[in-house]
Structure 1
Amino acid sequence: MTVQPPQPAPKWDHTAEQILSITKDGIAAHKAAMDAIAGLDAAAANFESVFLALAKADTLFETTAEPLSFYQNVSTVKELRDAANEAESLTRNYGVEDSMRLDVFHAKAAAEKNIKASGKWDSLSAEEKRLVEKLVLDGTRAGLALPDDKRTKLTELKKELSQVCLEFSKNFNEENGVISFTEEELDGLPSDVISGYTKRVVDGKDLYDVTYKTPDIFPVFKYAKNPTTRQRAQEGHESRLEINVPLLDKAIAIRRQIASLLGYKTYADYITEVKMIKNGDNVSKFLDKLEQKLRPVGEKDRETLLALKKEEHGVAGLPFDGEFYIWDYRYYDRKFVEKTLDLDDAVVKEYFPVSVVVPTILSIYQDLLSVRFEEVTDGSTWHPEVQMFSVWQKGSTDASGFIGYCYLDLYPRASKYSHAAVWPLLPGFDKEDGTRHFPLAAMVANLAKPTPEKPALMRHDDVVTFFHEMGHVFHGLLSRTKFARFHGTSVARDFVEAPSQMLENWCWEPKVLEKMSSHYQTQKPLPAELIEKLIKSRYVNVGLFNLRQIFFAKFDIKVHTDSEENANLTALWNDLREATSLVKAGKPCPGQGTFGHITGGYEAGYYGYLYSLVFAADMYATVFKADPLDPARGKRYQEKILAFGGAREELDSLRDFLGREPDEEAFIKEIFGAIGEAKASL
């Protein structure tokens, strides 16, 4: 008999009116709870009346608002997307107001004072103490120690910033531009890719419309033989969100004012205060050090690819100016891999049909982390293609083994979020009656759809991305914190990627690659020699790849540490890319308008992807490398990293997991040592 989950899944049948009315009711309920806390006499302010009450109100509001705002990323109905966008706008505006409530801050301060004066501080659990400390810190970082006039100004600035960022994101999701090419201009692209494009006849000539979505545009970057085609595609892709340029200028200017009001030297210092790295200067030092180590590798990569370009242009009779452009990078990177490793991305893709890879990855995670997925075929979802699962502890036979829910929304469609990401739609936490509120996570991706000739196939890059994002899903599902505030990926932003980055290593392990591959025609797994070539390809041209990541991080940290107003960010974007990434940009395009991270929560934080790689490499090399599929190691990971979420300092979780202080040795060996091995074997 099928066991029913102890918590029903939510319904995804809201109307636009309901999205707004429920959001408004949620705001009203939260405000009433804050009014009650603010109205307490100082003597009545304690852990239960203030901090538990705050946690309860915040959690209720989060579990109400988060699923409703999600519609803007996935719904096919414009009215629902618009309503969700408006609801998030209301939520953000209210959040700014709520964060600036001096009366609530006074209640927190009184409660903290009373708890410590009464001797009750020592009786609180470590997570309860952390809740108190974080809630008080929220108030000081919100500027509640400022004079009235400065607080009022800060509130106005935060609301304005919220709207600017929301508009930037909306433009990102609503972007639906295309660039058109003739079949001759698309020479070199696989036929199954071209057949997936929309074909039009203009003046008796066939034109293929290529959208700027990843599955459409990236094959042009990688396969189009004509450099002018690649250049047009690159410049179109870089310029597709020019509408966002003034919005980013405005956001940077507002952030500079906010930092000044709060007494921080830079906005980066304000942002990094609550992260592992602690200040903006440390970010710049980290990036400079990494760039210094990677630059010689990147320069060698560039020389190698430039020689390949010169050779090909000579054979094809194309002019060669001795430059290596941004639209050359993906094309010659692929050509180099194919030439030196005889590794054809299109051939590898044939071994990764979506219908095999997705369930196999789920199976790997289930075995490693001792859980099981049960598909819910009659559940409510926001689109017919979405898969829904209930998740259980492996071996459980009753409702006590329930873990939470997971949704997979894997294929592109109009107006859907265009990349891969995970939304922790509902957190896990302990309810007042002692029972558990269970989490819900949604993974959104844009995998290629089937064509008339072939089933849906995944590039190996897609497989790595899927494995990475499922790591975030399980961080959310297997976290066991008391409070929603600390649940799952609610960790320091410069650690949040480390667990998922660590899990990417599985996609480069021979036995895992064999397990998850099955040729769409023969059903045979990847042969050993192809696996060996694929693994060797991991570090080919990794110098240029990581210098590109450093460019993004440097642009991000520079605009948030510079005091210069009215800077030309388009010039900075292009100049910094040429200086750091070692590729020429051609005409200066407003690429910063496509930099979604900088308004989406990663401002002054993009360095975190590289920073967390240090921890990811250490965790994998120390614990998992010897036996990546060992459930005992998976249990250790679950209990010491995932379970705690943000309920304790991330360094404490790392020490507990590793059995020592984390260090850079594994990172240096894995990244830089493997570069040498890869180069030596080619």
Structure 2
Amino acid sequence: MSQPASSLVRVTKLEPQNLPDAAATLAWIATRCDGELERARDLVAGFKAQRPTDSLEALHAWNDIEVALGNAAAAASVYAETNPDGAVRDAADQAMQRIDAFSTDLGLDRDIYEVVTAVDGTGLDPDSSRLLERILRDFHRSGVDRDEQTRERLRDLAQAELLASQEFAKFIREGARSIRVRREDLAGMPDDWMSAHEPDQGGLVTVTTDYPDSIPLMTYCSVASTRRAMTHERLNIAWPQGDEVLQRLLGLRAEHASLLGYDSWADYDAEVKMIGDGGAIAEFIDQISAAAAGSAQRDKAVLVARRRQDVPEATDIDAADLTYYSEVVRKEDYAVDAQLTRTFFAFEKVRQGLLEVTGRLFGLTWRRVDDATLWHGDVTAYDVLQGDERIGRIYLDLHPREGKYKHAAQFVLASGVRGRQLPEGVLVCNFSKGLMEHGEVVTLFHEFGHLIHHVVGGDQQWVRFSGVATEWDFVEAPSQMLEEWAWDADILATFASDADGHTIPPDLVDRMRKADDFGKGFHARTQMFYAALSLGIHRSKPDDLTQAVRETQQKYSVFPYIEDTHFQCAFGHLDGYSSGYYTYMWSLVIAKDMFSAFDHANLFDPEVASRYRDKVLAPGGSDDAADLVADFLGRPYTFDAYAAWLAE
């Protein structure tokens, strides 16, 4: 499956191309989103009129409806989060509202439900039988079997929830904050960063909360007051507007779950995940917290002791100093200087290296598409080939801009359906165009793993199982496992080199890995703070969300709450992940176990890589995630590999 690097696309520069103006984009949204929505309406009308009784005929008719709705929703989602024009983003949000309203009506439509329940599933192949079961389960979870008054209220709730979610996301997306400081208050910052941040006429430098600005500042700036000012702004993004919206969203979700007979939204949401119910989430959070307790306190003590060298009266450390002193400890105790390390990770080389590494690993070729219709000059498109066959297309939108999604995620532009449409995915990140932190390289590998899963898993008969359509608490596992390739010295040697062409030294990579392991215990506890917050506020809906943050942080994190901050408003995962933030750690447990099957001395081993691709990624959601992993490992997954890593 390995391919020579010369067969892979090489990209040396970005050039704006095929960029439609706002009017053309608005017309395209109307065509794609509302056109596909109208097609779905026609298909539903035909489904009702024909009332197919043949099982496969009925499933194919339903699949047609889901394809149309999926295409409409995917386009609306991508353009709402990425288009540089605010009018386009608003139009995409409005299109999503129409799509969601129709989807809600569809799930509550008794006529269609009667047709589906009359389908005889006897003799169906496993994939088709699984699809029928999922359709019936979805109808039940939508409330179609409730009385008319309840169904009408559920319809209203679904629309209100979407509007609140969009409002919450928009406040975060457009709510970047900033600080203005003197150059001397930026002591310790890298030269290239300083060159990109010239002072204004008043002699002050503006630094925003966007990642390429704020993460280096939190890592390198030696001026404590500057770090604290930035921390305050980062933890107050979307405050106070987001708090009211989040409270409203929590109330809507709680009522929604109650009407369907669930104790809480967390129980409703967890029902279709690997974990099963909200109580099991709480148990998992406590299990991880207990396993990480010793390591967390040990490494925190190191940070406090090092901070005390600078601040003799210090007895604790919080988020304003955590990243900086973690970097100091890694530099002094592990001989890893991130300012030196980043010189090996120029963005252009990293992007090319990512394509070559993943192409070789999974037997894929990434071919630059020069005539693709894009939405910004920073975006690049690639066709994905397996052998001579084109199996999909990806778009990379990797740099920040005003109004764009602020974090890192993979968005679906089209789900693959065998013989009908190829999968298309969009990677949306916020990296510098210059030198990257190694942590950003790891993030890029992680998010690219979602793209690979989406494309490789996109050859499905039923769109319901296409790509990453597995249980939500497994979705992160393949991406978390791909992070390991960004830590391997032999892998990094294929693309990580400084301006003089010197390859990153293997001994430096080894020290980087050991330095990264420092703090993994308190990182796990912080993640459990986030997970417990997302779970807790969806189970009890507290009146004071800031107090809930304070109390939950005190219980699970080893770092104290910072006064006058409102993390809940900047925590975008409370929208999309709702009560399920635990899924990151649940997936990591599985990822560590899957990685144990690879030869760590040869991560390009074609036998295990192709087996993983074919048994875990290619099936998409056509089987339960636990069964896919067991098929790959030859046994059920366990907690052992994660526990061993945490104890190292």
What TM-score comes out, normalization by structure 2 length? 0.94
Q: Name the counterpart of 2:127.
A: 127
Instruction: Give the deviation of 1:637 after TM superposition.
Output: 1.1
Pick the aligned partner of 2:589 from 607, 614, 628. 614
Tell me which moved more, 244-253 or 168-177.
168-177
Matched, 1:412 2:400: yes
Tell me how far 1:198 sits from its aligned partner.
5.1
Q: Is the 8 A contact 2:33 2:71 kept in 1?
A: no
Query: Which of 385, 402, 416 is residue 378 of structure 2 equivalent to?
Result: 385
Q: How many residues align?
A: 628
Quote the Cα distance in structure 1 between the aligned partners of 2:633 and 2:129: 25
Q: Secondary structure at the match of 1:605?
A: coil
Secondary structure at the aligned position of 1:458 is classed as coil
Contact 2:288 2:524 in 1 (8 A): no
Residue by residue, what CA displacement relative to the aligned partner does 1:111-131 show, whole Å, maximum 9, x if unpaired? 2xxx14xxxx22x22111111
Q: Secondary structure at the match of 1:185?
A: helix
The answer as to 2:624 corresponding to 1:649 is yes
**What amino acid is aligned across from residue 211 of structure 2 in structure 1?**
T
2:639 is equivalent to residue 664 of structure 1: yes
**1:519 maps onto 2:507 in alignment:** no
The answer to whether structure 1 residue 92 and structure 2 residue 113 are counterparts is no
Secondary structure of the residue that 1:648 maps to in structure 2? coil
* 8 Å Cα contact 1:189-1:224 kept in structure 2: yes
1:32 is aligned, of 33, 42, 47, to 42
**Residues 19, 375 of structure 2: 8 Å contact kept:** yes
2-structure distance, mates of 1:212, 1:198? 17
* Matching of residues 94-493 of structure 1 within 5 Å: 94-111=102-119, 115-116=120-121, 121-122=122-123, 124-197=124-197, 199-202=199-202, 206-242=203-239, 243-314=241-312, 320-394=313-387, 396=388, 401-430=389-418, 435-449=419-433, 456-479=434-457, 480-493=459-472
- Alignment correspondent of 1:69: 77
1:623 CA drift (Å): 3.3
Change (3 A) 1:392 1:445: same
Deviation at 1:612, TM superposition (A): 0.9
CA shift for structure 1 position 367: 0.9
Match of 1:577 among 547, 550, 553: 553
Whether contact under 8 Å (1:560, 1:604) holds in the other structure is: yes
**The residue matched to 1:429 in structure 2 has which SS?**
coil
What is the CA-CA distance between 1:529 and the residue it aligns to?
2.2
Per-residue deviation, residues 472-507 of structure 1 (Å, max 9, x unmatched): 111011112211111111110000000111111111
Shift of 1:588: 3.4
In structure 1, C-alpha distance between the alignment counterparts of 2:574 and 2:398, rounded to whole Å: 25
- SS of corresponding position for 1:141: helix
- State the AA in 2 paired with 1:378: D
| Deviation of the 1:253 alpha carbon | 1.0
CA distance in 2, matches of 1:423, 1:265: 31
Taking structure 1 as reference, are residues 25 and 529 closer, same or farther at Cα in structure 2, changes over 3 Å only?
Answer: closer
Question: Compared with structure 1, are the counterparts of its residues 526 and 626 closer, same or farther at alpha carbon in structure 2 (3 Å cutoff)?
Answer: closer
Could you tell me which runs of 5 or more consecutive residues in structure 1 were left unpaired when the two chains were aligned: 3-9, 315-319, 450-455, 674-682
Q: Distance in 1 between matches of 2:68 and 2:599?
A: 38
Separation in 2, partners of 1:346, 1:582 = 27
1:22 is displaced (CA, Å) by 4.3
Contact 2:304 2:314 in 1 (8 A): no
| Aligned residue type for 1:189 | M
Provide the residue aligned with 1:80 in structure 2: 88
Farther-moved stretch of structure 1 (20-29 vs 241-250): 20-29
Distance 1:471 1:137 in 2: 29
Query: Do the aligned partners of 1:187 and 1:226 also contact (CA within 8 Å) in 2?
Result: yes
Deviates further, 343-352 or 181-190:
181-190
Q: 1:341 offset after TM fit, Å?
A: 1.1
Q: Decide whether the 8 Å contact of 2:179 with 2:206 is kept in 1.
A: yes
Change (3 A) 1:64 1:560: closer
Contact in 1 for aligned 2:257/2:268 (Cα 8 Å): yes
Q: Quick one: distance in 1 between partners of 2:72 and 2:271?
A: 29
| Cα displacement string for residues 599-645 of structure 1 (whole angstroms, at most 9, x for unaligned residues) | 12x11111000001111011111235353111222210111011111
1:335 partner amino acid: V
Alignment partner of 2:479 out of 491, 496, 500: 500
Deviation at 1:471, TM superposition (A): 0.8
Letter in 2 for 1:283: I
Q: Deviations over 1:208-251 (max 9, x none)?
A: 11111011011222222222221111111111211211111111
Could you tell me how far apart the structure 2 residues matched to 1:378 and 1:32 are? 32
Q: How has the CA–CA distance of structure 1 residues 489 and 12 changed in structure 2, closer, same or farther, with 3 Å as cutoff?
A: farther
1:493-531 C-alpha deviation (Å, 9 max, x unpaired): 0000001111111112221122231112x1111112212
* Contact kept in structure 1, 2:400 and 2:406, CA below 8 Å: yes
State the 1:545 CA deviation: 1.1
Distance in 2 of aligned mates of 1:86 and 1:599: 18
Q: Deviations over 1:519-552 (max 9, x none)?
A: 12x1111112212211111211111111111100
* Larger RCO (CA under 8 A, 6+ residues apart): 2
The letter of the residue matching 1:26 is E
Instruction: Report if aligned partners of 1:93, 1:162 keep a CA contact under 8 Å in 2.
Output: no
How far apart, in 1, do the equivalents of 2:272 and 2:543 lie?
Answer: 28
Provide the rounded CA distance (Å) in 1 between the counterparts of 2:491 and 2:520: 22
Change (3 A) 1:626 1:226: closer
SS of 1:276's equivalent in the other structure is: coil
Report the CA distance between 1:21 and its aligned residue.
5.2
Work out the CA distance in 2 between the residues paired with 1:12 and 1:276. 42
CA contact (8 A) 1:221 1:327 kept: yes
Partner Cα separation in structure 2 for residue 209 and residue 627 of structure 1: 46
| Residues 77/353 of structure 1: CA separation in 2 closer, same or farther (3 Å cut) | same
In 2 relative to 1, CA 171–591 (structure 1 residues): closer, same or farther, beyond 3 Å? same
Q: 1:156 to 1:436 in 2, by over 3 A?
A: closer
Which residue pairs with 2:571 in the alignment?
595
Conservation of the 8 A alpha-carbon contact between 2:521 and 2:646: no
TM-score (norm 1): 0.89
Separation of aligned partners in 2, 1:498 and 1:22: 32
Deviation at 1:666, TM superposition (A): 1.3
CA contact (8 A) 2:381 2:395 kept: yes
2:506 corresponds in structure 1 to 528
Q: Verify the 8 A CA contact 2:175 2:238 in the aligned structure 1.
A: yes
Say which SS state the counterpart of residue 532 (structure 1) adopts. Answer: helix
SS in 2 for 1:599: helix
Contact 1:198-1:210 at 8 Å conserved across structures = no
Contact 2:446 2:480 in 1 (8 A): yes
Distance in structure 1 (CA, Å) of the matches to 2:206 and 2:294 = 40
Cα distance change of structure 1 residues 589 and 371 upon mapping to structure 2, 3 Å threshold: same
- 2:314 and 2:504 map into 1 onto residues whose CA distance is 40
For structure 2, list consecutive stretches of 5 or more residues without a partner in the other structure.
1-6, 8-16
Question: 1:149-207 CA deviation, whole Å, 9 max, x = no partner?
Answer: 111111111111111001111122222332111112222222322222253233xxx11
Aligned residues of 1:374 and 1:389 also touching (Cα < 8 A)? yes
CA distance in 1, matches of 2:198, 2:208: 9
Paired AA for residue 167 in structure 2: E
Tell me which amino acid in the other structure corresponds to 1:282. A
- What SS class does the counterpart of residue 222 from structure 2 fall into? coil
SS at match of 1:297: helix
Deviation at 1:260, TM superposition (A): 0.8
